[in-house]
Chain A
Amino acid sequence: MGRYTARRLMQMIPVVLGATFIVYALVYALPGDPLAGKCGQRPCPDAYIAKYTEQFNLDDPLPVQYVKYLGNLLQGDFGEAVNGEKVLDQIERTYPTTMKLALVAIMFEIIIGIGAGIISGIRRKGIFDSSVLAVTLVLIAVPVFVTGTSLQWFIGVKAGWLPVTATDGTWRQLIMPGFVLAGLSLAYAARITRTSLAEVMRADYIRTAKAKGLPRSRVVGVHALRNSMIPVVTFIGADFGTLLGGAIITEGIFNIDGVGGLIYRSIGLREGATVTGVVTVLILIFLLVNLFVDLLYAVLDPRIRYE
């Protein structure tokens, strides 16, 4: 497993290099002058333009710019935005909130999604199962801004149980946005769990478990559950990686200062350094989460061996 992990980590190097180059090239290819509009209603003074052209290597051809950027990156210098704020500071400001939001969302997926999936999986065609199918269908069909604003109105404003926005990014504020963000994936997680469990319950080894005289709770909770969790872990793991990349719409609805909004604003403002820097960090995190999920398979299913 150690060698496998090392190999996977090595494979990340070309992926990160390729991805950062593509992002860098895309930002470079954006039409328009990156310094236009930075000085209000009038054109920027020549000294200002010269300073930033120098700072961001804007006179160099793309490959040279990229190599210089990469050199700084390797020394831990993510560069700074035009307003002088360090990109690393921007990440530090927004990333903890995004991580917390992703964690809240993933908890909803695990607890409600898997929980509902298990119950409807063992009691198929019952009233609970039918309700789960109906509710998940609604969650899948309705866009995030509808569930988001509806919950804000009913739970935040009318009932007053939870704060309407999450400006400071505290855990309590993030409950509602976390649920909204989880909504779609939660519905899928419930459905995948349900199907997977129902399928496993028909397996030969479940018949064996019954023939062994095990109580039903043990047949389902021990013998069926572990096997049925393999596809669910795949799904939730991949989803966690995505959630860690920020959530533009949910962040927007709940006024969360997260990484999704940061990228969105930076693209609008042509903040090349911020966009490239943040995306690089996100790619790294996504790759690491994926590696972790792959390693988790081997724990769940001993037939999977990493040499």
Chain B
Amino acid sequence: MPNSGSESAPAFDLNVGAGEPLLEVVDLHVEFRTREGIARAVNGVSYSVKPGETLAVLGESGSGKSVTAQAIMGILDTPPGYITKGEVRFCGQDVLTLPEEDRRKLRGASMAMIFQDALSSLNPVFSVGWQIGEMFRVHEGMSRKEAKLKAIELLDRVRIPSAKDRVGDYPHQFSGGMRQRVMIAMAIALNPRLLIADEPTTALDVTVQAQVMDLLAELQRESGMGMILITHDLGVVADVADICAVMYAGRIVEHADVHELYANPAHPYTKALLGSIPRLDLKGQEVAVIKGLPPTLTNLPTGCAFHPRCSYVKDRCRSEEPPLYSVNEHRDSACHYWEEVLDGSPE
């Protein structure tokens, strides 16, 4: 029987008790061993996602947000990337200790991922229907014909007009927004418990961005899946996320409820990030920028990695790495002087 070996039967119980996290990342460390030295891309990241919840992971390019996601999915390129420490608990099971074959069966089926640029992320030489149907053929051993019908159903569900006629079309025949819908259809094909969206709207027009985000939010409401939304777009975060983790140089610098974070950031980096959004009420004034460049991961600054760019910097910041201080019961900040930051401007 074809495909019989690859049909998915999860290696452990995927049920999650009420209020329990669906995914728990604990003290994750990832490094890239390159010729230029060891780049410490992720340095002790911890976060969790409950079913139905959306966690936004914010940060500049190179802050480690995508690498963390790839480590969760198990699609990190090894070499050069290595997970040196930490746990990724999915439904209570540390998936990092599972054999590769068990992890493969989770991928796509129980945890799925969508990527930034749908044109380059879809295979150019296969039709979209074939690529969506492949999920059913590989994970559920369906025939080509059944899989094609499923693909049409899914294209319908992500609201691609005349799905039946377009199922045989190739990625380059779709517009950017429609391609991202195809990507989403592929990711939700097997009703995953967790969906990781890595900058899903960055490559799209502003009007299309909103449509795609609405679609994701709606699909999440219907299915109750947990979602990790990786982005550097602060506007998107405010609309759809419940919790927000801000990353800098491979660490989480602030972790908070989205509304609290926007209203009153507790970390200088978050504050600077929010300050760098152009605002209509400050029209005509210069947009604030964060001075300096993100640090090179092969040579991180001592103490707090943000100190060379920080406007609150004091001597202690240069030598002592700040732990994640608890601001209140559901809010953390990795700044020695978070109270000062919360209160207002630097002295």
Contacts and interface: CB of A to CB of B under 8 A. Distances in A.
Nearest to B113: A211
B199 interface: no
Interface string A208-242: 11111111001000010011000000000000000
Contact of A213 (B106, B115, B183): B106
Interface in B121-177: 121-127, 134-135, 138-139, 170, 172
Contacts of A204: 115, 117, 120-121
Contact of A205 (B113, B122, B138): B122
A301 interface: yes
B108 A301 contact: no
A120 B105 CA distance: 28
A158 interface: no
Contacts of A214: 104, 108, 134, 138
A212 B123 CA distance: 12
B123 A209 contact: yes
A211 B71 CA distance: 11
B267 to A, nearest CB: 31
Contacts of B75: 207, 210-211
Contacts, number: 72
A302 interface: yes
Given A204-B120, A207-B121, A303-B124, A212 B115 contact: no
Given A211-B107, A212-B134, A215-B104, A205 B123 contact: yes
A300 interface: yes
Contacts of A207: 75, 115, 121
Given A204-B115, A204-B120, A214-B138, A302 B107 contact: no
Interface in B18-69: none
Interface residues of B, number: 30
Most B-side CB within 10 Å, residue of A223, A300, A301, A302: A302
A141 interface: no
B242 to A, nearest CB: 24
A203 interface: yes
B118 to A, nearest CB: 9
B266 interface: no
B190 to A, nearest CB: 9
A146 B126 CA distance: 45
A301 B139 CA distance: 26
Given A302-B125, A303-B172, A215 B120 contact: no
Contacts of A205: 120-124
Contact of B105 (A213, A218, A223, A227): A213
A212 B117 CA distance: 16
A300 B127 CA distance: 12
Contacts of A215: 6, 104, 138
B109 interface: yes
Interface of B: 6, 8, 73, 75, 104-109, 112-113, 115, 117, 120-127, 134-135, 138-139, 170, 172, 183, 186
Given A209-B123, A214-B134, A223-B123, 9 more contacts: A204-B117, A205-B120, A205-B121, A208-B122, A211-B75, A215-B104, A302-B124, A302-B170, A302-B172
